[in-house]
């Protein structure tokens, strides 16, 4: 990916006319208002994507989903690929199967795939610890399956191990870098990242990437760490007390750079 010539510092607040956000374009977004207000161009491009693990590859694990009495879902992707695998393997889950969902959004998404009964669905707020009372109640009587990606679910695995819960983790999908080769001669004033995987994809696609004048907008501590490990400068950061969201962080920067 082409970058501009001289080093960019936080304090200079140079004008931004183009932004690339490393995510798929949503139907509605506060970024559309930013684009209109400032008369700038905002493009969307996912730097990573999810690929399915094939049934043939999965069968090598000698795991059948219908042999488990409880399923732990950590994301919507884990739900999609679990039921995809069930369909491809012709596994029919028992109506008595219990489902442990990390968040309410994940539990709501589960309704697309099962007849929703609250007595069989346990819902957390954000972390695996939120489900502790449900695990304490059922851990001795259930055999748990944890569908994962190639990245695993480290916090969940650590918790299950510490609690001595009978579980099996099974990789059903992969999160991989997208091909960005068509962007190699395109320059943006600002790149926006939301995960360390976006930074990994950037360098897998453009090993010789130099920041130069390109502003980097970064969301989250882990993403910030990945950026700093590459020796790059973070120009726009969220969440902060002043900028709890990335859209607000960009707005605050544009108020200074594009005034």
The model carries a pTM of 0.78
pLDDT values of the chain reduced to their tens digit, one per residue, 259 residues:
654 433 344 456 899 999 999 999 999 999 999 999 999 999 999 999 999 999 999 999 999 999 999 999 999 999 999 999 999 999 999 999 999 999 999 999 999 999 876 669 999 998 999 999 999 999 888 999 999 999 888 899 999 999 999 999 999 999 999 999 999 989 999 999 999 999 999 999 999 999 999 999 999 999 999 999 999 999 999 999 999 999 999 999 999 999 8
Determine the structural domain holding residue 166 and report its residue range: 51-175
Residue 229 within a domain = yes
Domain finish residue from 142, 175, 208: 175
Same domain for 93 and 32, yes or no, is: no
Q: How far is CA 241 from CA 201, 224, 237, 249, 256, in A?
A: 29, 16, 11, 10, 18
Residue 137 within a domain = yes
CATH number (domain holding residue 202): 3.40.50.10090
Same domain for 152 and 164, yes or no, is: yes
* Number of domains into which the chain is organized: 2
DSSP tag of 95 = T
Same domain for 195 and 154, yes or no, is: no
Domain finish residue from 175, 198, 217: 175
pLDDT at residue number 259: 85
Same domain for 142 and 60, yes or no, is: yes
Residue 22 within a domain = yes
Same domain for 66 and 162, yes or no, is: yes
Residue 79 within a domain = yes
| 57/61 Cα distance (integer angstroms) | 8
Same domain for 71 and 150, yes or no, is: yes
DSSP string, 103-150: SHHHHHHHTTTS---GGGEEE-SSSGGGGHHHHHHHTTT--EEEEEET
Residue 104 within a domain = yes
Which is nearest to 153 in space by CA: 57, 228, 77, 66? 77
3 state DSSP class of 8: coil
Same domain for 81 and 158, yes or no, is: yes
Same domain for 151 and 225, yes or no, is: no
Same domain for 144 and 216, yes or no, is: no
Same domain for 75 and 34, yes or no, is: no
Domain finish residue from 120, 150, 175: 175
| 160/158 Cα distance (integer angstroms) | 6
Same domain for 165 and 198, yes or no, is: no
Residue 182 within a domain = no
């Amino acid at each position: 990916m082409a970058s501009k010539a001289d080093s960019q510092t936080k304090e200079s607040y140079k004008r931004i006319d183009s932004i690339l956000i490393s995510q798929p374009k949503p139907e509605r977004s506060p970024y559309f208002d930013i684009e209109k207000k400032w008369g700038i161009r905002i493009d969307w491009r996912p730097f990573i994507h999810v690929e399915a693990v094939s049934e043939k590859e999965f069968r090598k694990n000698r795991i059948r989903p219908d042999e488990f009495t409880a399923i732990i879902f950590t994301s919507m992707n884990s739900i999609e690929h679990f039921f995809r695998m069930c369909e491809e393997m012709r596994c029919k889950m028992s109506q008595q199967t219990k489902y442990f969902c990390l968040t309410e959004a994940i539990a709501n998404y589960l309704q697309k795939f099962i007849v929703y009964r609250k007595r069989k669905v346990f819902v957390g707020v954000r972390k695996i610890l939120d489900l502790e009372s449900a695990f304490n109640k059922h851990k001795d009587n259930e055999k748990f399956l944890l569908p994962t990606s190639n990245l695993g679910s480290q916090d969940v695995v650590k918790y299950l191990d510490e609690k001595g819960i009978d579980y099996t983790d099974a990789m059903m999908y992969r999160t991989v870098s997208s091909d960005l080769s068509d962007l190699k001669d395109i320059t943006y004033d600002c790149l926006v990242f939301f995960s360390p995987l976006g930074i990994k994809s950037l360098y897998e696609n453009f090993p010789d990437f130099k920041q130069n004048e390109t502003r980097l907008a970064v969301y989250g501590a882990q993403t910030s760490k990945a950026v700093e490990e590459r020796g790059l400068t973070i120009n726009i950061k969220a969440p902060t007390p002043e900028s709890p969201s990335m859209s607000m962080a960009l707005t605050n920067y544009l108020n200074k750079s594009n005034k």
